[in-house]
């Protein structure tokens, strides 16, 4: 990009104003002069553009993300280069990133936090089905519009960085991802997987519910150690409005072992959606939060030895929750997931001790029935026609046997 055209990329994208910045790129609001529309242009920092292998991988990841069409994923329109400036063009989302909303108004109401988390799961889960891992899920990469619609952004950059780093001792000192949100396996230098994204979504949900992060540290090394070794606190320790069973779901999502979590964001989304639909939360009357995403069906279900009793009707008890947008809650039978994925011994990162991970298969327990603030009322059993007919026949048989019993008794006495 020449100095005389410092606000114009390739004669097409006119940069209007800087919208934000991060360790990897600077984001601008821009106008696409060819199509006459407003777009967002993300310009990679020069420190990343000196590696030809990274640029090749980045362009490929951008093409992969451009093929994703989902209402909860920011659409990629173009990827290009103007001189030494490398950029990616995306749809412009008129909203704020989730981190700003958390700083301004967290803790969120239970229903609003679940609604946003479910939509994040829908977008990231769609990418998982396409074979893509986000690798850097965090509130800064989640855009929220005025009506709480959610758009996940920044697919591809962290993944391209991870894929182009050789697995040698020198490069393994670099851990890609955000230290407050990355998974224990990422903290040890392993390549991220869909289960890594699930862990990061769990951290984001924890932060929405409590207004704070589960792990803190003075530097990246200390944070990495916390993710690897420390047991996360329960959200209810910081927000008493968080139900016990939502605590349990989050503790599973934040498991140190990837195979102990839900394997994909779709699976976590189904659990959260089922939990939200089965729970009746009493709050002030406010507008609904957007529309609920749908998740694909799964062939795996909870084995019969771990059943979940499902109430036929739910009677809500009053609960005091923070004021905020809520969605409609309705009764629906949930789908439960379980996986059997053998664990593998991970490589280690110098300075960060490894966690022993023996190979085993871990069934995922069903989402717990909501009890603490959601009371179940059992309906009386209903008698069907077959049962009534059989009862009538039995009654007739008894009545017909009575004269026989009398005759036998008289013969015996006489």
Question: For 101-120, what is each residue's pLDDT tens digit?
Answer: 999 999 999 999 999 999 99
Long-range contacts (CB closer than 8 Å, 24 or more residues apart) made by 9-17: 9/41, 9/80, 9/82, 9/85, 9/87, 10/80, 10/82, 13/39, 13/41, 13/87, 13/89, 15/41
The predicted structure's pLDDT at residue 175: 46
Q: Is 96 in a helix, a strand, or coil?
A: strand
CATH fold, domain 8-91, is: Phosphorylase Kinase; domain 1 (3.30.200)
Task: Please compute the mean of the pLDDT values over residues 69-91 and round it to a whole number.
Answer: 93
Q: Where are the domains of the chain?
A: 8-91, 96-376
* Separation CA 378–CA 96 (nearest Å): 44
- Which of the pair, 264 or 162, is modelled with greater confidence? 264
The percentage of residues in the chain with a pLDDT greater than 70, rounded to a whole number, is 69
Strands (E), 122-248: 142-145, 150-152
The predicted structure's pLDDT at residue 289: 47
- Which of the pair, 86 or 53, is modelled with greater confidence? 86
Residues 318-344: tens digit of each pLDDT: 333 333 333 333 333 333 333 333 334
Per-residue pLDDT band for 306 (boundaries 50, 70, 90) equals very low
The percentage of residues in the chain with a pLDDT greater than 90, rounded to a whole number, is 46
Q: Verify whether residue 136 is a known catalytic residue.
A: yes
Q: Is 200 in a helix, a strand, or coil?
A: helix
Is residue 99 over pLDDT 80?
Answer: yes
Annotated catalytic residue within 78, 111, 136, 148: 136
Task: Please compute the mean of the pLDDT values over residues 161-167 and round it to a whole number.
Answer: 49
The predicted structure's pLDDT at residue 290: 52
* Separation CA 47–CA 240 (nearest Å): 45
Q: How far apart are the first and last CA of the chain?
A: 122
Is residue 385 over pLDDT 70?
Answer: yes
Greatest mean pLDDT range, 136-150, 274-288, 313-327: 136-150
Report yes or no: 68 and 155 within 8 Å, Cβ to Cβ.
yes
The predicted structure's pLDDT at residue 177: 63
CATH number of 96-376: 1.10.510.10
Q: Which residues contact 66 (CB under 8 A, 6 or more apart)?
A: 75, 76, 77, 79
The predicted structure's pLDDT at residue 284: 35
Q: Which residue has the tokens 């280690």?
A: 348
Per-residue pLDDT band for 6 (boundaries 50, 70, 90) equals low
Report yes or no: 35 and 52 within 8 Å, Cβ to Cβ.
no
* Separation CA 116–CA 206 (nearest Å): 12
Per-residue pLDDT band for 158 (boundaries 50, 70, 90) equals low
Is residue 198 over pLDDT 90?
Answer: yes
* Separation CA 81–CA 55 (nearest Å): 10
Q: Which residues contact 378 (CB under 8 A, 6 or more apart)?
A: 311, 312
- Which of the pair, 241 or 316, is modelled with greater confidence? 241
Residues 366-380: b if buried by 16+ CB within 10 A, e if exposed: bbbebeebbeeeeee
Strands (E), 199-332: 313-316
- Quote the pTM value: 0.67
Is residue 68 over pLDDT 80?
Answer: yes
């Amino acid at each position: 990009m020449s100095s005389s055209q410092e606000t114009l990329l390739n004669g097409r994208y006119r940069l209007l104003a800087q919208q934000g910045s991060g360790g990897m790129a600077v984001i601008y609001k821009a106008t696409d002069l060819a199509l006459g529309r407003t777009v967002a242009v993300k310009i990679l920092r020069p420190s990343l553009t000196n590696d030809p292998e990274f640029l090749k991988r980045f362009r490929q990841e951008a093409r992969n993300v451009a093929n994703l069409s989902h209402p909860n994923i920011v659409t990629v329109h173009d990827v290009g280069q103007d001189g030494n400036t490398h950029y990616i063009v995306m749809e412009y989302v008129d909203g704020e990133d989730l981190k700003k909303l958390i700083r301004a108004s967290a803790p969120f109401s239970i229903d609003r936090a679940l609604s946003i988390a479910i939509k994040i799961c829908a977008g990231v889960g769609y990418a998982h089905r396409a074979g893509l891992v986000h690798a850097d899920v965090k509130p800064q990469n989640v855009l929220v519009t005025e009506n709480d619609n959610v758009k996940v952004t920044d697919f591809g950059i962290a993944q391209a960085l991870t894929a182009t780093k050789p697995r040698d001792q020198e490069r393994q000192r670099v851990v890609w991802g955000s230290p407050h949100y990355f998974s224990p396996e990422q903290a040890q230098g392993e390549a991220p997987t869909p289960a890594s994204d699930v862990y990061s979504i769990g951290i984001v949900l924890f932060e929405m519910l409590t207004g704070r992060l589960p792990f803190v540290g003075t530097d990246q090394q200390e944070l990495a150690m916390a993710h690897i070794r420390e047991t996360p606190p329960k959200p209810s320790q910081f927000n008493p409005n968080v139900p016990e069973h939502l605590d349990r779901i989050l503790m599973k999502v934040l498991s140190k072992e990837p195979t102990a979590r839900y394997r994909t964001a779709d699976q976590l989304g189904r659990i959260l959606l089922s939990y939200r639909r089965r729970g009746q939360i009493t709050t002030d009357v406010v507008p609904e939060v957007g529309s609920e995403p749908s998740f694909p069906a799964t062939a795996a279900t909870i084995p019969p030895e771990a059943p979940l009793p499902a109430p036929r009707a739910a009677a809500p008890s009053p609960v005091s929750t923070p004021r905020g947008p809520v969605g409609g809650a309705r009764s629906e039978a949930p789908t439960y997931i379980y996986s059997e994925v053998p664990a593998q011994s991970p490589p280690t990162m110098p300075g960060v001790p490894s966690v022993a991970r023996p190979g085993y298969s871990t069934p995922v327990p069903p989402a717990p029935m909501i009890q603490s603030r959601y009371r179940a009322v059992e309906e009386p059993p209903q008698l069907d026609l077959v049962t009534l007919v059989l009862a009538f026949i039995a009654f007739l048989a008894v009545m017909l046997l009575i004269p026989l019993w009398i005759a036998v008794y008289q013969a015996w006495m006489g």
